[in-house]
A = this chain, B = another copy of it.
């Protein structure tokens, strides 16, 4: 068939060239034809974009989309659905949205509902307040680039309550999720300093938005390793080593800390944060405090970098910190609505003005996402009509996540060849797997990293999609994967069961 097609094509070309001889002018056209070259080819494409990788939506995820189509098309599989344990996407896994948030969205989207619906008084009041703060009293108008003023004030209040210290609403920017803010701030660093590119320290394992964005912006990635043997601790010794090492070929200017950790699930102690701030101080580094999981704490206590910075006092309270938060995580899990914020601390005013200017060309983050931010930053209070339902819904989610965090950790620690640290926070477990020489050999033959090989096999056999550790980075010679704790309880049990069976078979096959 293939050769026939090819033959037909060759034949067509012959016919074409014969007929051309008879047509005057066609030769010119043929010349023109030869002229066109694609403006963008793989060869002349922005090389940073070629380098960029984002494992959470990488080749494994593309295969998931294919498998889902195959299932729809009736292709037989050893499973009847894909379990997407790859992304921190709670509602995709059946989590119920918080009613208060959604009711406010209804009312701001369709203000008639403020009059006609039977939603609580506080819902309606909130909607009215948000609309009053919108230009032309409509959620359909642009806000200023850094977000609706009253919502920035809500966020400042949230932070003040959380930390016990002043937050300036002018230093709050509302962003489309945390990612947009992180990228905006990383972009500030693109510049050669003393002939060297700027470098940014990131944890390994890390959330791959960081490696992807650093690649995209041509910034140097300086890896510091979290200590798996100490529950993914962040040690100053390792920061020192990484800085020294990284400084050879770049000017290190910033330090990313993800707390609670993604994919690693650890929660930093206050002491640890103090030392990190002192380290940043000593080396004049800006801290990117990725605190999007601040409401997902199962063990220990969350301390914001901002709070510890203030409490440390002079001279350490001069350190530049940007803290990022998202409405996609926590107990609301409103990933699709793209709400988020960043709090900017100690940034040089001129730099901050330039950041705001740069954001303004992109107009604004979704105003509905901003409305979600308002609900998260200023939830119903005791005495409000929505309060009880809100608390119940919130606590249901958080308690269930707590149980699932422990359940998944136990599961892996009970499986031969697995070792999993305590999931203290966030939404992920990042267990380590021992892979046999034979399995590693087989992966090599397949042209895959051993953990990628394992994850593909798991997916094809069970429909479970996890993300291989190599997408986050890991100590050479070790293998991990990230799984979310987000499948609802029944599904999680089913996943656990099917995972165990797969692993036994896999171990047998490659023993």
Q: Which residues of A contact B (CB under 8 A)?
A: 29, 32-33, 35-42, 44-50, 52-54, 57, 65, 84, 87, 89-94, 97, 102-103, 105-106, 109-110, 113, 134-136, 138-145, 176-177, 179-180, 183, 187-191, 193, 208-209, 212-213, 216, 253-254, 281-282, 284-286, 314-315, 318-320, 328, 333-338, 346-348, 350-351, 354-355, 357-358, 360-369
Contact = CB atoms under 8 A, between A and B. Distances in A.
A52 B357 contact: yes
A109 B45 CA distance: 39
A188 B284 contact: no
Q: How many copies of the polypeptide does the oligomer hold? A: 2
Which of A40, A136, A180 lies at the interface centre, i.e. has the most chain B CB atoms within 10 A of its CB? A40
Contacts of A189: 40, 46
**Top 9 nearest A-B pairs by Cβ distance?**
A336-B367, A92-B141, A39-B286, A91-B140, A91-B138, A57-B360, A92-B135, A33-B315, A92-B136
Given A40-B189, A49-B357, 16 more contacts: A29-B315, A33-B315, A36-B284, A37-B284, A39-B253, A42-B351, A46-B191, A49-B188, A52-B357, A91-B138, A92-B135, A140-B334, A142-B336, A143-B336, A212-B361, A336-B366
Contacts of A89: 135-136, 141-142
Contact of A315 (B36, B93, B347): B36
Contacts of A134: 336
B44 A191 contact: yes
Contact of A141 (B315, B336, B347): B336
A364 to B, nearest CB: 7
Nearest to A65: B144
A337 B367 contact: yes
